[in-house]
Structure 1
Amino acid sequence: MEVKLFRVSNEHIKNQCYLIYEGNSGILVDPAWDYELINDFLQENEITLKGVLLTHYHHDHTNLAAAFAEKNVVPVYMSAIEIKEYGFTVQHLIAVQHLQEFVVDDFRITALLTPGHTKGSMCYWIGGHCFTGDTIFIEGVGISSELNVGSLFNSVQFIKQYLPAHTLIWPGHSFGQTPGKELNFLLKNNIYFLLNKKEAFIEFRMRKNQPDPFAFK
């Protein structure tokens, strides 16, 4: 299995979306902004799209889901909680639950519910790779609210305990570090993975005078 990273942008937002592929079959994760870039890669490499995975409902992660789903007539997967809480809809939408295992073509996927950035944020664990959207970055964690930041702490603790340390982490944005680093790197270098007490995590995540959350690299 291979992972193709697409760096795309819209004004001040820079995204990392992904194609997981093996042979001539592939799945997109959070496709956004640059349809031609992604579609050209599919066509040039004769890859047939089999599905779309969405980590959460924000537009910078779902912008092209409808276009790819409709053109290729493929299912789109999203957390059931995310769909219910935010009313997200797209053609061929399938709701998935925490720890649900499902198969798309020859890809075996485990859905991991990781609330905190949004109420139904979901990561996807596939063949030693985890696609984390805006829940976890290599350098930190996603934006959260006072109501949800406790859930974000729980999600980080869950990822720490559930995934093998050699799992490769592929986030939705970069703030300087290269995506695709092992979880073991985050366990040693991501401060949010080093904060084991919820109160300290919440205080640090919600502190004043934080760096610009849109300072993407």
Structure 2
Amino acid sequence: MKYRIIPVTSFQQNCSLIWCERTKRAALIDPGGEQERLMSAIRQEGLTLEKVLLTHGHMDHVGVARSLADAAGVPVIGPQREDAFWLQILPQQAEMFGFPHIESFEPDQWLEHGDKVSVGEEQLEVIHCPGHTPGHIVFYHPQTRLAFVGDVLFQGSIGRTDFPRSDHAALLAAIHDRLLPLGDDIEFVPGHGPMSTFGAERRSNPFIR
């Protein structure tokens, strides 16, 4: 599986374009904005988009998910259903942060811990990691030892837990019980900022050390 990180909007959130090298089938993880730029990247790589994947329901990660998926004729998949209320208040989220209006929506499929999602011939494992939001999930690709963690974990930090239905203890438990045991060598793409490894964060991240 190959991937390309595309930071979008003034929030510089990481949208990840991932694809199966053999089939050239692709998915976008957390398309928060700049729809045409994301579609241009797909064309540049010679790919066929087959789905949009969401880690959680915050506006900066789902901003163009529905419009992009509808334009491409593909489904929106994820997050876990406890984030439904975040997707329902997308218009209010957009107004609060000064973004263009975003219609509320439901994904075509909710995901649960232990589910698997295919992209071409590749498979991602779904790990439910509540805390930043109650329905936050992580997409993990075992073959390449790569995880797309959204706003659960960052280089040197962790996700905010001052939002409605955030839970600091649950976030730490998800990191310690579900992510770090995967191995120190696991590289991860966070929702914002540079990549890191679970090992580097276990050793030096002051929030989880």
Q: TM-score range by the shorter chain?
A: 0.7 to 0.9
Q: Which residue of 2 aligns with 1:49?
A: 49
Matches within 5 A, 1:1-217: 1-10=1-10, 13-23=11-21, 24-86=24-86, 88=88, 90=105, 93-126=108-141, 127=143, 128-145=145-162, 148-174=167-193, 178-179=194-195, 181-194=196-209
Give 1:34 shift: 1.4
Contact 2:26 2:119 in 1 (8 A): no
CA distance in 1, matches of 2:80, 2:191: 20
| Overall identity of the aligned pairs, in % | 23
Render the CA deviation track for 1:29-49: whole Å, top value 9, x for unaligned.
101221222111111221101
Q: Which residue of 2 aligns with 1:208?
A: none
Contact 2:58 2:86 in 1 (8 A): no
Render the CA deviation track for 1:154-207: whole Å, top value 9, x for unaligned.
111123443122111100111xxx31x22211111212221xxxxxxxxxxxxx
| Root-mean-square deviation over aligned CA pairs | 2.0
Q: Output the amino acid matched with 1:170.
A: V
Runs of 5+ unmatched residues, structure 2: 89-103
Tell which has more relative contact order, 1 or 2 (C-alpha 8 A, sep 6+). 2
Q: Which residue of 2 aligns with 1:209?
A: none
CA distance in 2, matches of 1:95, 1:33: 21
TM-score, normalising length: structure 2: 0.81
CA distance in 1, matches of 2:41, 2:79: 27
Contact 1:130 1:167 in 2 (8 A): yes
Contact 2:185 2:197 in 1 (8 A): yes
Aligned residues: 188
Give 1:131 shift: 0.7
